Amino acid sequence: MVRASPYLVPKVQNRVSGLQIGLLIAVALFILIVLTAIFSPRRFIRGVFQLILHPLYRKRIVGLENLPAEGGYVVASNHVSWIDGILILWMLPKNVRFVVEGENFENPITKYLGAGFDTIMMKVTNPKSIGRAFKTAREGLLKGDTIGIFPEGTISRNGQLQAFRGGVQKILKGTDAPIVPVWLDGMWGSLFSYSGGKLFWKWPTQIRRSLTLYIGKPLPNDTSLELVRSQVQQLGAKATFDHRHEFPILARRIIRVWRKTGSRLQCADSLGTEVNARDMLVRVFVLRRLLRREVFSAGETHVGILLPPSVAGVAVNVAIALDRRISANLNYTVSSKVMNHCIAETGIQHVLSSKKFLSKLDLQLDANVIALDDLREKITTMDKLVGFVQGRLLPASLLDRLLGLHRIDKDDLLTIIFTSGSTGMPKGVMLSQANISHNVDAIERTIRLDRQDVVLGILPFFHSFGYSVTLWAANVLGPACVYHFNPLDARQVGKLAQRYRATVLLGTPTFLRSYLRRIQPEQFATLDVVVAGAEKMPLDLFDLFEQRFGVRPVEGYGTTELSPLVSVNIPPSRSSAKYQADRCEGSVGRPFPGVCAKVIPLEGDGELNADEDGMLLIGGANVMQGYANQAELTSKAIQDGWYNTGDIAHVDKEGFLHITGRISRFSKIGGEMVPHGRIEEELAKLFSHSGEDSSEEKEETDCLRICVTAIPDEKKGERLVVLYKSPSVEYDQVRTALCEAGLPNLFIPSADSFIEVDQIPLLGTGKLDIKGAKTVAMQRFGKA
């Protein structure tokens, strides 16, 4: 019989004792957790949040010191994801009693969560329930609680800040509690947001997201709802600016998109050129190599481009971006003097163009003009081989390293776009990588361009709208792009639209009106989105265009200095709105995500309330770097991060922006500001009923028939002058019509202030040439 060693018994006993102690500790912990969950649910839930959320999100808080140390207050936040409330509770040190829709908290788990944080439930379909919830929140404020609310009332479908509902004011009634504006940044693109048009059912774009909670300074209890919204929106613009490094570098992005698009058509033009995405990428790499060897000198940074919107125009711009140089697309509708001014301002040594295009222009330029046609014969077999390897074979990440694209900074310049020169010599607007990439992101969120679209590119690339949207956005978001050099060549525009089944058209009201007679409805049959900008959209044009082509245009707004996008009405076919409208005809839409608008008095300080006209300021990641070699002008245009647009505007109660005039299009007569646009609007109605021009050709090329300008006047400061095209109207009719429209006598031009002209002065972009109109008036009525 074998006996166990007496030395093993204590070891076994020790092992058993250790297991028992471990089990006792585990049981004790379990009991502690259960007791905590029962008697201190808030502490228990916060612990669970910490365990779950910390591995998934990095959190950062900006402005924590702005939270009031004592008393109750209301936290008003944006709302882009399904778990915003949970995240804010996790990030803030103090409990927030959110006012929420009770239907989302009806199962046992959500009921427990809601009860743990003393959440205030309501049913939005039951007015009595809403009233009880507001009363409970009000009582909480009086007791010193923090009340949280999402004033939009629903999750944003595209990241735009929607209108604020009146619940905040009802909660605050009878209290002196302040309002704390808050912006939660970083949740757009998550599974819990509507990015991509879906909630939940998509792949996450990041494994661990970085979240930042921006807390603004407390606002007085009686602050209007619209100004509260403005403060929240300003925090959102600050967040976008702070995180502008997250916008992709477009040169890197286009490599990946064109690789993915492959053999599908990417670019075509009216010259008959058609190129698929994969071949486009190879051509661009060949061109980049050729330009580096044959044209550019060491240290040359700025390159002029003199090409119409075309496949060649796209290729040159992309090649320059891939070579980390700064492009400057030159306005080919201006004189040699003006163009040479632009060349001198930016230190351009070479201008890239083509023989055929140059033959149509009478220009003498102070730069080396390179005809791309002459470079073709210099392409070697090695160029083609290297271009093929780079475009087809090398991994995109390796290309980034080889080309130095990984060293591009968000604030590096991508392009210089020159202003229209409507009020003087053009200024070179310096736009960064982040400026243009922000615009691309804004189009992706709101217009939702994708692989199913075909964009009709009729805007020149020297126009900021054409450069940002029809060049870059259209090429990196997946659509095919079809280009034509003359937007007023309606016949060719119609043929291209029909042949390539165009779905998206971006233009100006002048261009749209010219299409009404010259384009057949079947040619625009596939159009799904029509966006007009650059000038005010006449109200009748919405109906006329829809009646003829079956698609209703929407209006947007921007300026070159803002890259250029500021706001847009969402096209009906692209709208994902629920519970809130995202289009308001007569407005230019709500600001894009990451952009904020503020209206200030023409004289004095502060921010104006809803529906009050004043000077429009814009802030955000879209604000330019400045004017090239114009530090003084830059400092006047941009102050504390706000760009002064020079436009007179107001924001309505729903958050839509309305442009009512331009400061340069006002006259100060007898001490009163007189808007030219208001007078033009009424005169246009009168002249449109006085007879129609029967010439279709003239309708195609000259749509503007009335223009109001002004010249100096010794007695009243300024005198109104009207330029008009035939047919003329009797002055008595004019005066009667303006009086019946409610215009004061000061707004009515005198009988001898009308000048008949063959053509209203227009810029190449289709906008009114303000300087040219004034020159015509001065020539007629004398010198300043």
- Amino acid sitting at position 694: S
Q: Tell me whether residue 129 is in a domain.
A: yes
pLDDT at residue 692, rounded to an integer:
46
For residues 254 and 102, the answer to whether their CB atoms sit within 8 Å is no
Average pLDDT value for residue range 319-348: 92
Q: Is residue 151 included in any domain, yes or no?
A: yes
Residue 225, pLDDT > 60, answer: yes
CA atoms within 13 A on the CB side of 110: 13
Question: Above pLDDT 90, what percent of the chain?
Answer: 47
- What is the domain extent for residue 172? 48-242
Q: Give, in degrees to the nearest 5, the angle at Cα 696 between 693 and 697.
A: 110
Domain assignment of residue 774, yes or no: yes
Contact 450, 476 (CB under 8 A): no
**CATH number where 178 lies:** 3.40.1130.10
Find out whether 653 and 645 touch, Cβ atoms under 8 Å: no
Other CB atoms closer than 10 Å to residue 34's CB: what's the count? 11
d(CA 616, CA 647): 6
Give the pLDDT score at 662.
65
DSSP summary character for residue 695: -
User: If residue 251 lies in a helix (H) or strand (E), which one and from where to where?
Assistant: helix 250-261
> What average pLDDT does the segment 107-135 reach?
76
Total domains, the chain:
2
Task: Tell the residue number behind the tokens 């809803």, with chain if given.
Answer: 610
**Pairing relation of β-strands 274-276 and 265-269?**
antiparallel
- In angstroms, the CA 207 to CA 239 distance is 21
Q: 347 lies in a domain? A: no
Residue 53 located in a structural domain: yes
Eight-class DSSP state of 40: -
pLDDT at 1 over 70: no
Least trusted range by pLDDT, from 20-29, 214-223, 400-409, 525-534: 20-29
Range 437-447 average pLDDT: 93
pLDDT of residue 766: 62
Which among 463, 479, 478 is positioned nearest to 511, based on CA atoms? Answer: 463
User: What was the pLDDT predicted at 328?
Assistant: 95
**The domain boundary residue, chosen from 242, 263, 285:** 242
**CB-CB neighbours of 744 under 10 Å:** 10
Structure token digits, residue 581: 């409208």
The pair of structure tokens assigned to 474 is 């259209």
Virtual torsion, Cα 252, 253, 255, 261, nearest 10 deg: 170
Q: What is the pLDDT of residue 95?
A: 86
CA–CA gap between residue 117 and residue 601 (Å, rounded): 43
Compute the distance between CA of residue 696 and CA of residue 702 in angstroms, rounded to an integer.
Answer: 10
Q: How far apart are CA 344 and CA 368, in angstroms?
A: 13
88: confidence class by pLDDT, cuts 50, 70, 90: very high
Average pLDDT over residues 426-447: 93
Do the Cβ atoms of 531 and 568 come closer than 8 Å?
yes
pLDDT at residue 513 tops 60: yes
Is 118 exposed, middle or buried, given 0-12, 13-18 or 19+ CB atoms closer than 10 A?
middle
Does residue 8 or residue 782 have the better pLDDT? Answer: 782
Q: For the chain, what percent of residues have pLDDT higher than 70?
A: 86
Q: Can you tell me the mean pLDDT for 29-52?
A: 66
Structure-token pair, residue 547:
């009646």
pLDDT surpasses 50 at 742? yes
Residue 419 near residue 575 (C-beta atoms within 8 A):
no
Per-residue pLDDT at 474: 93
Point out the domain boundary residue: 183, 213, 242. Answer: 242
pLDDT, residue 240, reads 95
Does the bond joining 727 to the residue before it have cis omega, within 30 degrees of 0?
yes
Tens of pLDDT, residues 122-168: 787 788 888 888 888 888 898 988 888 999 988 998 889 999 988 88
Identify the domain boundary among 242, 267, 287. Answer: 242
Query: How far apart are the C-alpha atoms of 349 and 72, rounded to whole Å?
Result: 64
Average pLDDT of 275-279? 94
8-state DSSP, 95: -
pTM over 0.85: no
| pLDDT higher than 90, residue 696 | no
Task: Tell me the C-alpha distance between 284 and 320, whole Å.
Answer: 9
- pLDDT, tens digit (0-9, with 9 covering 90-100), for 572-592: 999 888 888 889 998 999 999
pLDDT class of 473 with cuts at 50, 70, 90? very high
Instruction: Say whether pLDDT at 421 is over 70.
Output: no
Radius of gyration in angstroms for the set of CA atoms belonging to the chain, rounded to a whole number: 31
Report pLDDT for 17: 72
Strands (E), 151-293: 179-185, 209-215, 265-269, 274-276
134 burial (CB, 10 Å; 0-12 / 13-18 / 19+) is buried
Whether residue 442 lies inside any domain: the answer is no
CB burial of 588-613 (b: ≥16 within 10 Å; e: otherwise) equals bbbbbbbbbbbbbeeeeeebbbbeeb
**Lookup: tokens for 408:** 């591009």
* Residue 464 near residue 566 (C-beta atoms within 8 A): no
- At how many degrees (to 10) do helices 277-294 and 250-261 cross? 140
Parallel/antiparallel/unpaired status of strands 480-483 and 265-269: parallel
Question: CATH number, domain at 710?
Answer: 3.30.300.30
**270: amino acid identity, one letter:** S
Mean pLDDT, the chain, integer: 85
**Does residue 449 sit within a domain?**
no
Residue 635 has pLDDT above 70, yes or no: yes
Which letter does DSSP use for residue 194 in this model? -
**What is the model's pLDDT at position 701?**
38
**In a domain? residue 542:** no
Residues in the chain: 784
d(CA 512, CA 506): 9
**Res 694: pLDDT:** 41
Tokens 């009595």, residue?
A: 128
